Chain A
């Protein structure tokens, strides 16, 4: 290997011109370089996935925004008028802002966790870093996420919620949510290749996860015994950030640390799995 392989990047994209394979795993630096080199592919595949999803529907892209809004409005109505959940002022906006982040997270991880397996047609015929597939899944959900987020922010004054400087909290909140969804998808999509049950485990987990995350109820409503479980939940504080950005609320430092620790752990796991199996996924599809 010697002199050449040390200078060698990888991949066949954008004029990168040398590839050397000696083992069944890829180094993190090489994987990072080849993901970067394939960013053009990431963009076009994400756009394709987004376009294809709504192409045949009469209202087209409106559905990307309409569905989460309908869901949020129904929830707000049911839980405030029927189930009488109290303790959160401006309940409709509270639910809307929490749901925006959650809906993005849950749809991104649901499609992201099966990304490698679902695209076997592509990955068995050409090489590109397989991590790209999970990234594409997450990225294709970003469009809807950003548009719904903007709509919710616009709705706030209409629903009598004054926006302060705290609205800027949506930026760290969104970044954290995207980070968690990305790393989670990278891990789950790698595992899905080996364990086809992952798809169903993720589907089931998302249902439970929704209720153990303070999205439609404030975290103050959680009884003491369960509070620890809710605080260990990586998305709890991210959703709380979305709440804080619109209807306000306190953010405690410690649980946010738990989100960051989760992010770090998932990232390490994601890099390990994607590096280890990048070049052999195609054998198992």
Chain B
């Protein structure tokens, strides 16, 4: 079934979940002698045919609920396919969360053994790798302290250190690279590079398109459980943006759970306009851009509030703003209106999504939410983080400080 050179083969794979309306209970089902109502059958994944080659770095992308994690769960053998077959060759280490099986009362050393065994290492292998793991995690002084006294950073470092030392044939990663502080993340990425060079097959599921672009040789795009594209990362990411734009259902709930009042307004379009006045999906860092929202009024209103929110590719909200406090004036039924937001694209490189919502002036009810529109910012090459504050660096010779000495400097 598995051809030589293939690490993972999925053939006509489908996974169906059944959502039960209520928690099944022994007594009720036994007394009624009827099968439980099986409502809400859902194909989380269907018609997936793919081969991951040995030594390849393979990415899976898609929106929330597109079946990415289900695909990874199937490769890891956590769950079985409803139809089709999954074949995997070699030792698999799923890194779906760091520190699986960690117990807070156990010491770092004890947890290394538990977690390492869970990930498939034998006791002897762990004995051999213990020093490397401790060094990588930077927890020498806390090795025999229960992990409940660890900072969250130490905890994550320890979990990752064990996982990265498993040296499996196939490493399955679900988002976990986004752990720890920046320095540790760099260390993890560096180590991941080594892992890939050593011939380990790596499958990554991530929202972070930057990581996917950097790490993967081939990328599978999933949309609503079906494969939409399989190929080079750049092409897959482009296709991903297309599916995001075609989708009408809002993906991220940016609101505070306030009700959506339908039939008052309908947002017709949301566009990102570049400095040249043309609609675009690509902005240069710091350029003047506009976001325009066009909506049709279905019921007349005295006033309204327009809000926008911009998310980075890993789901972080980088900016929200609204017209609250600046009355836009009454609108008539049947009328079209346009709201324009002028702003500067002071952002680091990356893909962003923008979404707009329109509210009643008292912010009690949401009237409409736009679809998500994705745009790319070509940031300044030196900038990282979530926002480009436009720093400029200079270096000048100077004399001894003339003021009182800074005690911190001593």
By a beta-carbon cutoff of 8 Å, the part of chain A in contact with chain B is 1-2, 4-5, 10-25, 40-41, 44-45, 48, 51-52, 55-56, 121-128, 191, 194-198, 201, 279-280, 282-283
Contact = CB atoms under 8 A, between A and B. Distances in A.
A52 B106 contact: yes
A40 to B, nearest CB: 6
17 contacts: A1-B85, A4-B2, A12-B120, A19-B86, A20-B88, A21-B80, A22-B81, A23-B80, A24-B80, A41-B117, A45-B101, A48-B106, A121-B100, A126-B96, A197-B25, A201-B26, A280-B80
Given A19-B77, A24-B80, A40-B123, A48 B91 contact: no
B27 interface: yes
Given A17-B169, A44-B114, A283-B79, A51 B106 contact: yes
Interface in B86-140: 86-94, 96-97, 100-101, 103, 105-106, 110, 113-114, 117-120, 122-123
Q: Which of A5, A51, A195 gathers the greatest number of chain B CB atoms within 10 Å?
A: A195
B27 to A, nearest CB: 7
Q: Which 10 A-B pairs have the closest CB atoms?
A: A279-B80, A195-B26, A127-B77, A22-B85, A125-B96, A20-B87, A12-B92, A197-B26, A19-B88, A55-B105
Given A19-B87, A48-B101, A196-B23, 20 more contacts: A14-B122, A17-B91, A18-B88, A19-B89, A21-B86, A22-B85, A45-B117, A126-B78, A126-B100, A126-B118, A128-B118, A195-B24, A197-B27, A198-B26, A279-B77, A279-B79, A279-B80, A280-B80, A282-B73, A282-B78
A87 to B, nearest CB: 39
B79 A12 contact: no
B74 interface: yes
Contacts of A15: 91
Contacts of B29: 195
B17 interface: yes
B31 interface: no
B40 to A, nearest CB: 13
Contacts of A55: 105-106, 146
B82 interface: yes
Contacts of A45: 101, 114, 117
Interface of B: 1-2, 17, 23-27, 29, 73-74, 76-82, 84-94, 96-97, 100-101, 103, 105-106, 110, 113-114, 117-120, 122-123, 146, 168-169
B94 A125 contact: yes
Contacts of A2: 1
B24 A194 contact: yes
Contacts of B73: 282
A52 B103 contact: yes
Nearest to A12: B92
A51 B95 CA distance: 26
A189 to B, nearest CB: 14
B166 to A, nearest CB: 10
Contacts, number: 131
Given A23-B80, A126-B119, A196 B89 contact: no
A195 B123 CA distance: 37
Nearest to A54: B105
A14 B169 CA distance: 12
B81 A21 contact: yes
Contacts of A125: 78, 94, 96-97, 100
A168 to B, nearest CB: 33
A196 B25 contact: yes
B114 A195 contact: no
A124 B94 CA distance: 11
Contacts of B79: 279-280, 282-283
A179 to B, nearest CB: 25
A227 B114 CA distance: 48
A2 B17 CA distance: 28
Nearest to B18: A283
Nearest to A42: B117
A127 B75 CA distance: 10
Contacts of A1: 1, 85
Contacts of B77: 10-12, 19, 21, 127, 279
A194 B100 CA distance: 24
Contacts of B24: 194-196
B76 A126 contact: yes
A48 B78 contact: no
B1 A48 contact: no
A4 B87 contact: yes
Contacts of B91: 12, 15-17
B80 A18 contact: no
Contacts of B92: 12, 19
Contacts of A10: 77
Contacts of B110: 48, 51
A123 B76 CA distance: 11
Contacts of B27: 197
A24 B82 contact: yes
Contacts of A20: 1, 85-88
A211 to B, nearest CB: 23
Contacts of B23: 196
B87 to A, nearest CB: 5
B26 A44 contact: no
A117 to B, nearest CB: 12
